[in-house]
Amino acid sequence: MYQWYQNADVCYAFLADVPSITTLEDSRWFTRGWTLQELTAPSKVVFLNDRWEVLGTKASLHQEISDCTRIPVDILLGGDPEGASVAQRMSWAATRQTTRLEDRAYSLMGLFGVNMPLLYGEGEKAFVRLQEEILKISDDHSIFAWRSHDNRGGILATSPDAFIRSGNIIPRMLFSSDDGLITVSNKGIHLGLHFMARGGHGAKVYPGVGLGILNCVKTDDDRPIAIYLRDIFLTMQHFERVRSEGFRMLDLTPILPPERPMRKMCVRLGRMRHQQPKHADASDESDHEDLYFDGAQTPLSVTAREILLDADVAKTWYMQAARQGDVVLIQKLLRSGSVQVDVKDSTGMTALMHAAANNHSSVVWLLLTRNDITPAMIDNENWNVIIHAAKNGHDDILRALLARSDTRDAQTTALDAKLRAPLSFAAEAGHEAVVRLLLATDKFAADYADLTGNTPLTYAYRKGHVAIVELLLAAGRVDVHLKVYHPRLLFWAVDNGHETITRLLFERGFDINSRRQGWTPLLSAAVRGHTGVVKVLLERDADVDAALTTEAEDKNNKTSLMLGAIAGHLEIVSLLLANGAQTDVKDMRGNTALLYAAAAGRLEVVKVLLDGGSDLQARNNGGYTAVMLAQINKRTETLDFLLHNGGKLEELPQRPAKAAPASAEVDVEGGSDGSSDGQHTNR
């Protein structure tokens, strides 16, 4: 239709509600959506009143028509509408109405030279689609220079009404580095904008919020227009428009280029949930009050004059502001030029490191919005910002750092003087969320050993961080066959009763019958009473009759059944018997599990052993039976039970000096790597 009107020699507009020229501006014809193309497309339009009398032409009535339509006079006098900016043309359509909501968009296709399917029923989505089509053929940033409380369209407006006050906005190329390429995807609008962080004002802080500087200005103001954008994930990649009811007229004079670098970004499109649109008549705001150094007292009670005149004072407050998360003061100090963004304190730390170590994500983000910062810098300990974030357990900051392309060098050089990696620091400190995050990337080796020979896994198990050990093993990126893990890791898990870790280790090929100082995993679990671990070992066919072999003669040849019996671990004894443990195996002194249980007074264990076939008449090397051992150790209940179940009182043998009766004690060799070192006595 637009082209049809455009090709016509003359078009006639019958104004049925206009009796005379004095009421021309009140005609409903100037408020309808479809009549906009009827007015702008033809070179000549003749207006007729309600009696079909000529009122005048578009050219002769140009001022009256301009006053009621906001269309510039030069367009009405024959200028090409395509010479007007997108925002200007949209402003002509503001407040115009159509019977069908979708026609507010469809009636503008010709004015913008685009085509798209007519999908009646889509509602306001039609106007968003129209803007997407415009962006395919235009790099005019004025399409983003709208103002409305209704931001359901994301960076795109939901109605022409949002442009009602944008009739004086025109494009202007402000930065020579801009390539102007704008693309649309299902994720949003992809474009390059100069972006400047906005720290805040007074007590208010706006995390992730900054200004995207558009290549457009007002016809009467050379300052560029900037819209508020929020860095959604603090990675400088994905943004959304916020505070869409207004924008800023930004004076670039005091703003240094490092503060407003070009950023390739994706600005989110909205989800058109139903709500009553509300288009604000917001006024333009000056940015001076919260972006520039005004010389007033700062929150840290140091005057602007002191900071500006003394570089050492400025550096002190800069570092303190980073530690305390004072975004406003940091921004003022940097803008004043009294400190450099990467200045170091006596420990070699930068403001970025202090902010990351103290979990001030707003400060980290603010500093990284600049293009004069070096994230890969290291302090006196050879730690960079990645290590500081990982070591202190700040997973949100670390996630943002890892996702950024401008911290890639910091990620690849994140090793301290001892070659410790971030994963080792996090594992040692027990920061589970950080370990999980680092494992989810392929940037940090789970088996990387530092100069001390330790890996993240050894740091974790030596500090007793069970959940982290499980995480590292479950990730499947740890080679458990490395010498650094054998056999200490297995015995640490067994000695401390960690069933899941024990199972994971066996799933990854650990020898279930491996030994440490003569002990097998089953022996260690049995004496310590770790029933769950014993079950895991038995499920894996551990040697149930494997005997203890140590340098101490009095400890040799004790089996898991003996150790469980001595300690009185009834459930473990039952499990061992159920899995075929031999009841009458003897140790170096000739003692059986029953003899030990009787000597220790483990009545319930004695009952289970007898039910399991233990020989009540068995004697040790000194000639002692279970009855005798219960008698001499004054185990009255056990003695009575034995006597009622076939045991006999006999004269105690005259034993040689070395033929001692069974002891009610057993020494347990300690755990691994200091986690449970020393000797323990189970009675």
Q: Is the peptide bond before 81 cis (omega within 30 degrees of 0)?
A: no
Angle at 625 between CA 624 and CA 631, to 5 degrees: 90
- Tell me the domain boundaries of the chain: 2-138+156-163, 169-282, 486-683
Alpha-helix runs per DSSP H in 71-202? 73-76, 86-93, 103-106, 109-112, 125-137
Can you give the length of the chain in residues? 683
* Per-residue pLDDT, 597: 95
Fold of the CATH domain 486-683: 1.25.40
Q: Which helix (H) or strand (E) holds 322?
A: helix 311-324
> What does the pLDDT average to over 34-55?
96
Least confident of 7-11, 199-203, 206-210, 216-220: 199-203
Distance CA 605, CA 626 (A): 13
* Per-residue pLDDT, 668: 41
What's the chain's Rg over C-alpha atoms? 41
Contact present, 596 and 566 (Cβ < 8 Å)? yes
383-394 tens-digit pLDDT = 999 999 999 999
pLDDT at residue 431 greater than cutoff 70: yes
Residue 674: CA atoms inside 13 Å, Cβ hemisphere, count?
A: 4
Tokens of 479: 């080679």
> What does the pLDDT average to over 580-592?
92
Q: Helix, strand, or coil here: 228?
A: strand
Q: Tell me the β-bridge partners of 171.
A: 216
Distance CA 326, CA 307 (A): 15
> What does the pLDDT average to over 308-312?
69
State the virtual CA torsion across 41, 47, 49, 51 in degrees, nearest 10.
Answer: -100
Q: What is the pTM of this model?
A: 0.69
Contact present, 93 and 160 (Cβ < 8 Å)? yes
Tokens of 224: 């560029």
Strands 221-231 and 209-218: antiparallel
Contact present, 230 and 209 (Cβ < 8 Å)? yes
Among 197, 163, 468, which Cα is nearest to 335's? Answer: 197
Instruction: Compare 667 and 6 and report the one with higher pLDDT.
Output: 6
pLDDT at residue 202 greater than cutoff 50: no
pLDDT at residue 540 greater than cutoff 50: yes
Instruction: Compare 292 and 653 and report the one with higher pLDDT.
Output: 653
| Residue 205 banded pLDDT, cuts 50, 70, 90 | low
* Per-residue pLDDT, 676: 36
pLDDT at residue 307 greater than cutoff 60: no
Among 603, 659, 664, which Cα is nearest to 629's? Answer: 664
DSSP 195: E
Distance CA 260, CA 315 (A): 22
Query: What percent of the chain lies above the pLDDT cut of 90?
Result: 61
The single residue listed with the structure tokens 């001390």 is 452
3-state SS, one letter per residue, for 407-431: HHHHHHCCCCCCCCCHHHHHHHHCC
* Per-residue pLDDT, 680: 33
Residue 427: CA atoms inside 13 Å, Cβ hemisphere, count?
A: 29
To the nearest 10 degrees (0 to 180), the angle between helices 488-495 and 531-539 is 130
Angle at 74 between CA 70 and CA 76, to 5 degrees: 65
Q: Tell me the β-bridge partners of 266.
A: 190, 238
Distance CA 289, CA 649 (A): 100
652-670 tens-digit pLDDT = 887 544 444 555 444 444 3
97-141 tens-digit pLDDT = 999 999 999 999 999 999 999 999 999 999 999 999 999 999 999
Per-position DSSP letters for 491-557, written without gaps between them: HHHHHTT-HHHHHHHHHTT--TT--BTTB-HHHHHHHHT-HHHHHHHHHTT--TT-B---S-GGGTT
pLDDT at residue 248 greater than cutoff 50: yes
The per-residue pLDDT of the chain, averaged, comes to: 86
